Amino acid sequence: MNNVSAIDINTTIQSQIKGLGIVFIAWRRLSRRTSFLSKELGLELFFVFDKLPYIKALWKTMNFLTFRKPDIVFVQLPQGPLLAEVEMISKRIGFKVIADVHTGFIYPTSIKEYILNGLFHNYLNKVDLILAHNQLQADLIKSKISNEKIIVVYDPIPKIPQNTKEPKFNIDLSRSILFPASWALDEPLDFIAIEFLKSYVANDHILIITGNYRRNIGLYRKLRELIEKKKAKNKIILTGYIPDEEYYHILKLCKAVIAVSDKEYTLPHALWEAIAVEKPFIILNTKTMITEIGRSYPCFFTMSNDSLRKILEICLDKSYSHICKIVKSKAIELRLKSKNSIEMLIKIISEI
């Protein structure tokens, strides 16, 4: 595996932002990006699990910032009230605000999302720096606000531990296809399961879908019905939540990773996990993915009938050896994009 200077990045961080009081605040759900980025930068992480109307989160955040008096505060969006509160408190305490903008904040796709997030877009004009997750998302943000202090910061490449734990189900993981699911609405799990079962790859491969399915019980029941109807209990495994040590064991040994969101302006974190272990990644051909990965990558599929089936058969059987060579080259490219973007962020933090 070509590990591009993770140690160099950490050394740079220690020398350039050492001594600054920097915290990363998240509400409701801690994203894997926030977890990895805060670790990469060596930031204190303050997470509050709360639901609308976020009364507990507002109170705890105010007390935390008043007591801690940091120099810089990162906020994990999409929670608009978090951005508004932190920005207002910054005027009183005097810290800088950096907004890490997730797609759900800047690209609402429902009335509920617009009310919860869209009404807070103007607060982005007041922050000191905005982090976009990809180039198209950065362009979208620029089209909606006047603040030009926007940079693209890609997810850090996850550091996969050497010591992992074998999961309880006894299967040949080298014949498995991993779909790390968040069970959000932008993941077409049922479509992927159907296409997988239609392909001849399903004859000797297993689709492993991870993640807490309690976040979407309706979809979970739909998948269970499909599995029972197709007699596919030995072909599709729904793991539910599993510890990281088991998840990383599957990731290291699987044959390929499906990294999919059908929501534009999104780069699934699973993509960076696939890069970390240099596994072929099966991805949806959104404009965002094509822009970041390159149109020539051979494992794109569409949501049309039989597209994913054909891609699975090509990328996991007929051309697998060739695909693996392409992935190694693509991994070097994407590791460098991630590394360079994080180093740019470090430079800006040290000067802010």
Residue-level pLDDT, tens digit, the chain, 352 residues: 444 444 455 555 545 676 689 999 999 999 999 999 999 999 999 999 999 999 999 999 999 999 999 999 999 999 999 999 999 999 999 999 999 999 999 998 878 888 888 889 999 999 999 999 999 999 999 999 999 999 999 999 999 999 999 998 889 999 999 999 999 999 999 999 999 999 999 999 999 999 999 999 999 999 999 999 999 999 999 999 999 999 999 999 999 999 999 999 999 999 999 999 999 999 999 999 999 999 999 999 999 999 999 999 999 998 999 999 999 999 999 999 999 999 999 999 998 8
Strands 300-301 and 281-284: parallel
Q: How far apart are CA 308 and CA 196, in angstroms?
A: 8
Spell out the residues 6+ positions from residue 57 whose beta carbon is closer than 8 angstroms to its own.
27, 28, 48, 50, 79, 81, 82
Side-chain half-sphere exposure of 246, counting CA atoms within 13 A: 13
Question: Hey, what are 28's tokens?
Answer: 């409701």
Per-residue model confidence (pLDDT) at position 5: 44
Per-residue model confidence (pLDDT) at position 285: 97
Reply yes or no: is the peptide bond before residue 53 cis, omega within 30 of 0: yes
Instruction: Map out the domains of the chain with their CATH numbers.
Output: 6-153 (3.40.50.2000), 173-335 (3.40.50.2000)
Query: What strand order describes the sheet that includes 22-27?
Result: 44-48, 22-27, 72-76, 96-100, 129-132, 150-152
Compute φ and ψ for 96, nearest 5 degrees.
-90, 150
- Global pTM reads 0.92
Cα 57-63-68 angle, rounded to 5 deg: 120
Question: Hey, what are 72's tokens?
Answer: 């810089």
How far does CA 227 lie from the centroid of its chain?
Answer: 27
Strands 150-152 and 176-180: unpaired
Q: How far apart are CA 330 and CA 297, in angstroms?
A: 9
Per-residue model confidence (pLDDT) at position 10: 54
